[in-house]
Amino acid sequence: MTTTSHNVVLHVDDVRKTFGGLHALSDIDLAVEEGKTHAIIGPNGAGKSTLLNVIVGRLAPTSGAVVFDGHILTGKQPHEINQLGVARVFQTPEIFPDLPVLHNVMTPAFAKRDGSYKLHIWENLLDEKTIQEEAESILQDVGLWERRMDHAGALSRGDKRRMELAMCLIQHPRLLLLDEPTAGMSRHDTNTTIDLLKKLKERGMTKIIIEHDMHVVFSLADKISVLAQGRIIAEGDPEDVRNDPKVKEAYLGGAN
């Protein structure tokens, strides 16, 4: 456990999560430092997405707590957690399929600007120039500007993911959680996404990234935690983790 560092912005403190008899997460401790990209890797079913679900408030942990920037997240509603500056790209894209791409990206901006609810009944969307311009510029960053009028449901899986990334970026989150952000993308789009994520890092955004593509992981990660069967079996710099025999074992499926 490396909880000694000073700029830790997210603490996962001894979190356990069981589904019936299944121990999806056991004794998880995690410390994510400000401005760093923390990768979580591990075989299928290791509990990676479950960990993100606990952080964003989709699941309540069986025990333990999550602390973000001095706030205890455990027990908070998802919208409250987002309002604190935590945004997430889901493993299966969670978008508004019936709305145009542009409106998908504009919607989270209202939550960022106005708080969790403000009933703008009497304003016209057309007059929300600042938000629209920002949405368009972020769509340009992720390479979807040409498709801004299309219904989001018509996008390919990779494009939906990039759009969901745009939906997160318009909120300028303090902590960005990415659950396999390049799955379903072409090699080219994967590389563009890596470049984009690197740029975000230069701007100081803290990220947790779950990824199976080791090229992506080693291009971005400052630190890696390896999860297998709900436990962190290794943690450290990319180089250490790469050479850790336990990790090789877990990935070869001989963990027990």
Partner 1 sequence: MLGLSAKDTGFLLFVTFLTLATPILLQPFPETSSLAQFNAGYPDLMQRFAIYGIFAIGFNILFGLTGYLSFGHAAFLGVGSYSVVWMYKLLSFNVLPGLILAIVLSGVFALLIGYVSLRRSGIYFSILTLAFAQMSYNLAYSVFTPLTNGETGLQVYTSDPQILMGEGSTQVPNLFGLVMQDSIKLPVGDWLFTFNVGYYFTAVIAIFVFYISLRIFRSPFGLILRAIKTNRTRLSYAGINTRPYMLAAFVISGMYAGLAGGLLAAMDPLAGAERMQWTASGEVVLMTILGGAGTLMGPVLGAGFIKYFENIFSKINESVLHDWFGALPEPVRDFLIAIVSPFVGDGWQLTLGLLFVLVVVFLPGGIMEGARRIGSIFRRKPAAAEPAKLPETPPAVAGDPAGE
Query: Which stretch, 36-44, 73-81, 212-220, 234-242, contacts partner 1 (CB under 8 A)?
Result: 73-81
The encoded tokens of residue 67 equal 């602390």
Among 7, 22, 120, 198, binds partner 1 (CB under 8 A): 120
Q: Which is nearer to ligand ATP, 21 or 254 (CB)?
A: 21
State the Cα torsion 119-124-126-129 to the nearest 10°: -50
CA distance linking residue 74 with residue 81, whole number of Å = 9
CB of 106 to partner 1, least distance (A): 7
Among all chains, which residue has been given the structure tokens 């070869």? 252
Helix (H/G/I), strand (E/B), else coil: 21: coil
State which of residues 1, 4, 126, 256 lies at the interface with partner 1 (CB under 8 A). Answer: 126
Single out the segment in contact with Mg ion by CB under 5 A; choices: 46-54, 188-196, 215-223, 229-237. 46-54
Question: CB-based contacts of 247: which residues, under 8 Å, 6+ apart?
Answer: 226, 233, 234, 241
Range 7-26, binding ligand ATP (CB under 6 A): 19, 22, 24
Count other Cβ atoms within 10 Å, centred on residue 231: 17
Secondary structure (DSSP) of 13-38 = EEEEEEETTEEEEEEEEEEEETT-EE
Does 91 contact Mg ion by CB under 5 A? yes
Residue 53 binding Mg ion, by CB under 5 A: no
Specify the residue, 42 or 173, whose C-beta has the smaller distance to Mg ion: 42
Nearest CB to ligand ATP, comparing residues 42 and 173:
42
In the complex, the smallest distance separating the C-beta of residue 113 from ligand ATP, rounded to whole angstroms, is 32
Q: Are 160 and 144 in contact (CB under 8 A)?
A: no
Site membership for Mg ion, residue 49 (CB under 5 A): yes
Q: Give yes or no for residue 128 binding partner 1 (CB under 8 A).
A: yes
Site string for ligand ATP, 63-102 (x = CB under 6 A): ----------------------------x-----------
Burial class (CB in 10 A: 0-12, 13-18, 19+), 65: middle
Cβ at position 198, least distance to partner 1 in Å = 25
**How do strand 22-33 and strand 37-41 relate by DSSP bridges?**
unpaired
- What's the burial of 100, exposed, middle or buried (CB within 10 Å: 0-12/13-18/19+)? middle
What is the binding site for ligand ATP (CB under 6 A)? 19, 22, 24, 42, 44-50, 91
